């Protein structure tokens, strides 16, 4: 897909992904709200990030800034909003063709003045094509982990209580319980099942052909075994999509190494069985 170049006034899921990555790498205080709107606060953090990483400080998130943040074109889900502008791929830049001297390129046309920043409307309701407000909740839970020994983390027991399983020890696999609990905090009903495969098996929400930021991903281990990275004995895992490369998919989820964290899963070891979005 074509990598979008975005700046102030843009809105959509690519902006929401940008805000997530800036919070992770730049660590602004206070953190950016994941509202999907490229406003003054987001532009300020973008400029600070560009300055810190020896990038052109223009407040525009193009190929170099996306790459510095660890995102490639394949990592970005299509934005439902019209991008501010699009990056011209290197393959279509004007280059000499054939032997001999290249013709002198025509003088560039005068550049139009950059339009004034637009005031973006409020983000759509939860579960629309743009909004993934549950990611704010999920991010706030990062660092929650299983208690040592015979003790139990009461927060993880709360996650379980969001399912028909009810409150259980934190040693019980809890990735689906975490997803259900997070959705419930923004008044979205999940599957109410503690089974990771339930979001696919119960045909929850609606299916997506390609992942977008905040989508619910159902993974299954290709060689099923007791998966240490997810605590799953069935090989199934469910979590929220952040980004991906050609070889890995990054998910924010629970019961990832016994905690709530972002983890990279190798696509050579896992199959993506379902990509779901609230209907």
Classified as helix, coil or strand, 138 is helix
Tokens linked to 17: 């992904």
Domain-ending residue, one of 69, 87, 105: 87
Asked if residue 8 belongs to a domain, the reply is yes
Contact 272, 218 (CB under 8 A): yes
Percent of the chain with pLDDT over 90: 56
User: Do 69 and 143 fall within a single domain?
Assistant: no
**Residue at 107 is within a domain:** no
pLDDT tens sequence across 52-76: 999 999 999 998 999 899 886 544 4
pLDDT at residue 252 in the model = 96
Specify the pTM.
0.74
Q: Residue 118: inside a domain, yes or no?
A: no
CATH number assigned to the domain comprising residue 141? 3.90.1720
Residue 168 to residue 158: CA distance in whole angstroms = 8
Q: What local confidence, expressed as pLDDT, does residue 80 receive? A: 42
Tell me how far apart the alpha carbons of residues 39 and 227 are, in angstroms, rounded to a whole number.
42
Paired with 253 in beta bridges are 261
Mean pLDDT value across the chain: 81
CB 217 within 8 Å of CB 251: yes
Q: Is the pLDDT of residue 223 over 90?
A: no
Q: Write the DSSP assignment of 92-137 as a string of letters.
A: GS----SSSPPPPPPPPPPPPPPPPPPPPPPPPPTTSSS--THHHH
What pLDDT was estimated at residue 126?
52
Domain CATH code at residue 19: 1.10.101.10
Determine, yes or no, domain membership for 122: no
Is there a single domain that holds both residue 240 and residue 141?
yes
pLDDT tens profile 111-145? 444 544 444 444 455 555 567 889 989 998 999 99
Q: What pLDDT sits at residue 108?
A: 52
Cis peptide preceding 30, ω within 30 of 0: yes
Q: Is residue 11 part of a domain?
A: yes
The pLDDT, as a whole number, for residue 79 is 43
pLDDT mean over 192-208: 96
For position 184, what pLDDT does the model report? 96
Task: Tell whether 15 is covered by a domain.
Answer: yes
Write down the pLDDT at residue 244. Answer: 85
Is the same domain home to 163 and 265? yes
Give the range of the structural domain holding residue 18, as residue numbers without chain letter. Answer: 4-87
Same domain flag for 81 and 174: no
Assess whether 36 and 147 both reside in one domain. Answer: no
Please give the pLDDT value at position 3: 53
One domain, residues 80 and 185: no
Q: How many domains does the chain have?
A: 2
On the question of pLDDT at 257 being above 60, the answer is yes
């Amino acid at each position: 897909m074509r990598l979008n170049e975005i700046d102030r006034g843009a809105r959509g899921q690519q902006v929401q992904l940008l805000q997530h990555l800036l919070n992770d790498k730049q660590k602004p205080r206070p953190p950016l709200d994941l509202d999907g709107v490229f406003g003054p606060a987001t532009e300020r953090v973008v400029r600070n990030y560009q300055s810190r990483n020896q990038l052109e400080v223009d407040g525009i998130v193009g190929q170099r800034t996306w790459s510095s943040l660890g995102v490639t074109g394949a990592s970005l889900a299509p934005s439902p909003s019209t991008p501010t502008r699009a990056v011209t791929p290197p393959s279509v830049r004007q280059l000499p063709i054939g032997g001999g001297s290249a013709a002198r390129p025509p003088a560039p046309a005068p550049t139009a003045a950059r339009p004034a920043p637009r005031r973006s409307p409020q983000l759509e309701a939860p579960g629309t094509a743009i909004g993934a407000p549950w990611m704010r909740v999920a991010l706030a839970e990062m660092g929650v982990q299983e208690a040592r020994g015979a003790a139990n983390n009461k927060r993880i027991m709360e996650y379980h209580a969001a399912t028909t399983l009810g409150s259980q020890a934190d040693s019980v696999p809890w990735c689906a319980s975490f997803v259900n609990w997070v959705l419930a905090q923004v008044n979205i009903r999940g599957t109410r099942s503690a089974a990771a495969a339930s979001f696919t098996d119960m045909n929850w929400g609606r299916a997506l052909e390609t992942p977008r930021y905040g989508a619910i991903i159902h993974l299954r281990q290709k060689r099923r075994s007791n998966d240490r990275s997810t605590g799953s004995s069935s090989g199934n895992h469910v979590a929220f999509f952040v980004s991906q490369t050609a070889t890995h998919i990054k998910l924010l989820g629970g019961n990832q190494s016994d905690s709530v964290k972002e983890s990279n899963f190798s696509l050579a070891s896992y199959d993506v069985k379902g990509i779901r979005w609230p209907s």
